[in-house]
């Protein structure tokens, strides 16, 4: 259930988590109640789909939190993908997935990402990865990046949902 972030929050960590969760829930709301064909529908000016956004955001959550922050191997969905040859793999293959599976896959990725953030000692905890300018990044940076990326794609999802069935204002 989507809840507005609490304006009386004093903890930076809690504020970041609440803002990220708000955006995550927005994505889920914008895809709720749609069937496979509707999730795979494109608009004339874009190749984006709601299915692709769900699968992409699952990848984003896992890549940043599990792979880059913790140094874990890629999850099975992403192993063996030649990202140079197929940079839009998750967007392209999402249309073949069932709606409930996509939503559950995204929720599970978000849950695991939350666990990574909760287990880190502080917002200043550093990643294992040095892919950002050859240096590790902080948990704070990762959470801010996830907020930015999820919010940007929530805007895309809003337009796509309106094109599918006219629903606005979620």
13-22: pLDDT as tens digits: 999 999 999 9
Residue 101 has pLDDT above 80, yes or no: yes
Look at residue 20 and give its three-state secondary structure: helix
In the chain, the number of structural domains is 1
Please compute the mean of the pLDDT values over residues 56-60 and round it to a whole number. Answer: 98
Task: Name the pLDDT band for 32 (thresholds 50, 70, 90).
Answer: very high
In a domain, 78, yes or no: yes
Please compute the mean of the pLDDT values over residues 152-167 and round it to a whole number. Answer: 96
In a domain, 5, yes or no: no
| Domain interval for residue 69 | 12-165
How many other C-beta atoms can be found within 10 angstroms of the C-beta atom of residue 60? Answer: 19
In a domain, 48, yes or no: yes
In a domain, 2, yes or no: no
Q: Rounded to an integer, what distance in angstroms lies between the CA atom of residue 166 and that of residue 147?
A: 26
> In this predicted structure, what is the pLDDT of residue 119?
96
Please compute the mean of the pLDDT values over residues 119-138 and round it to a whole number. Answer: 96
Q: Rounded to an integer, what distance in angstroms lies between the CA atom of residue 86 and that of residue 43?
A: 22
For residue 160, give the CATH number of its domain.
1.20.120.450
Contact partners, residue 16, CB within 8 Å, separation at least 6 = 123, 140, 143, 144, 147
Task: Name the pLDDT band for 130 (thresholds 50, 70, 90).
Answer: very high
How many degrees, rounded to 5, is the angle at CA 23 between CA 20 and CA 26? 150
Angle between helices 139-165 and 50-62 (to 10 degrees): 170
Residue 57 has pLDDT above 90, yes or no: yes
pLDDT digits (tens, 9 = 90+) for 72-83: 999 999 999 999
Residue 9 has pLDDT above 80, yes or no: no
Task: Name the pLDDT band for 40 (thresholds 50, 70, 90).
Answer: very high
Q: Rounded to an integer, what distance in angstroms lies between the CA atom of residue 143 and that of residue 8?
A: 20
In a domain, 1, yes or no: no
> In this predicted structure, what is the pLDDT of residue 6?
81
In a domain, 83, yes or no: yes
Residue 170 has pLDDT above 80, yes or no: no
In a domain, 124, yes or no: yes
In a domain, 7, yes or no: no
pTM over 0.85: yes
Q: Rounded to an integer, what distance in angstroms lies between the CA atom of residue 89 and that of residue 55?
A: 10
Provide the mean pLDDT of the chain: 95
């Amino acid at each position: 259930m989507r809840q507005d972030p609490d304006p009386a929050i004093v903890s930076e960590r809690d504020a970041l988590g609440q803002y990220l969760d708000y955006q995550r829930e927005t994505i889920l709301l914008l895809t709720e109640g749609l069937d496979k064909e509707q999730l795979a529908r494109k608009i004339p000016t874009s190749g984006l789909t709601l299915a692709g956004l769900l699968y992409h955001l699952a990848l984003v959550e896992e890549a940043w939190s599990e792979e880059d922050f913790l140094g874990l191997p890629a999850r099975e969905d992403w192993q063996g993908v030649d990202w140079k040859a197929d940079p839009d793999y998750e967007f392209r293959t999402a249309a073949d997935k069932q709606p409930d599976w996509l939503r559950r896959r995204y929720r599970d990725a978000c849950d695991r990402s939350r666990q990574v953030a909760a287990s880190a000692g502080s917002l200043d905890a550093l990643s294992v990865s040095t892919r950002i300018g050859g240096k590790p990044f902080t948990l704070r940076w990762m959470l801010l990046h996830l907020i930015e990326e999820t919010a940007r794609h929530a805007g895309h999802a809003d337009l796509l949902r309106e094109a599918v069935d006219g629903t606005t204002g979620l």
